[in-house]
Amino acid sequence: MEHKASLKSLTVEGTKYRTLFTKKFENRKIWEEPDDRKIQAYIPGTILKVYVQPGQQVKAGEDLIILEAMKMKNHISIPFDAKIKNINVIEGQSIAKDFCLLELE
C-alpha cells in the first residue's frame, strides 16, 4: 500500500499532512445544500404516474408523481404552492436514488 507517489495532502486543524487516502474516503459523498426547487427521489424505483405538466401551477398537498419502490406506491406530493418548470421523468422509467424528478420555478 505504500507508494510515495500516491501520497496526498490532508489538512487537519490548519496543518497539512502527507498521507495515503482510503478508497472509502476518496469516494465519500460531498455534501450539497438542499435545493427546494429540485424534487429528488428519496428511494430508487419506477415512475408509475406523472400527474403534472411543465408550466402547471400546483397547490400544496397536490400529488405530483407516483414512485413505485419496495412494492409500495409512493405518492410524491408538494408541501407548498409552486409552478412546475421541468419534468425529468416519464412513466415507466426506472430511476436511481437522488435522481432529480422535477424542477420548480
Partner 1 sequence: MSLKRKILELKKRREQVLLGGGEKAIEKQVAMGKMTARDRVLAILDKDSFHEWDLFVEHDARDFDMDKKVLHGDGVIIGTGTVYGAPICIYAQDFTVAGGSLGYMHARKITKIMDHAMKLRVPIIGINDSGGARIQEGVNSLAGYGEIFFRNTQASGVIPQISVILGPCAGGAVYSPALTDFVFMVDNISKMFITGPEVIKTVLGEDISMEDLGGARVHSEITGNAHFFATSEKECFDQIKKLITFIPWNNARKALPFPPKKPKSKFKIDAIIPSDAKQPYDIRDVVRAVVDDSDFFEIQEYWAANIVIGFGRLNGETVGFICNQPMVLAGVLDVDSSDKAARFIRYCDSFSIPIVTLVDLPGYLPGVDQEHAGVIRHGAKMLYAYSEATIPKITLILRKAYGGGYIAMGSRHLRADFVYAWPGAEIAVMGPDGAANIIFKKEIAEAEDPEKMRKLKVKEYKEKFANPYVAAAKGYIDTVIEPNETRNVLLHAIEVSKDKTVYTPNKKHGIPPF
Point out which residues bind partner 1 (CB under 8 A). Answer: 1-2, 7, 10-25, 28-31, 43-46, 69-71, 94-96
Q: What span, in angstroms and rounded, lies between the C-alpha atoms of 63 and 76?
A: 6
Residues contacting residue 80 through CB under 8 Å, at least 6 positions apart: 60
Q: How far is the CB of 37 from partner 1 (least distance, A)?
A: 21
For the chain, first and last CA: distance in Å? Answer: 50
Nearer to partner 1, 47 or 58 (CB): 47
Residues 76, 39 contacting (CB under 8 angstroms): yes
Name the residue nearer to partner 1 (CB basis): 84 or 95.
95
CB 40 within 8 Å of CB 100: yes
Indicate the residue among 53 and 70 with the shorter CB distance to partner 1.
70
Q: How far is the CB of 81 from partner 1 (least distance, A)?
A: 31
Q: How far is the CB of 78 from partner 1 (least distance, A)?
A: 24
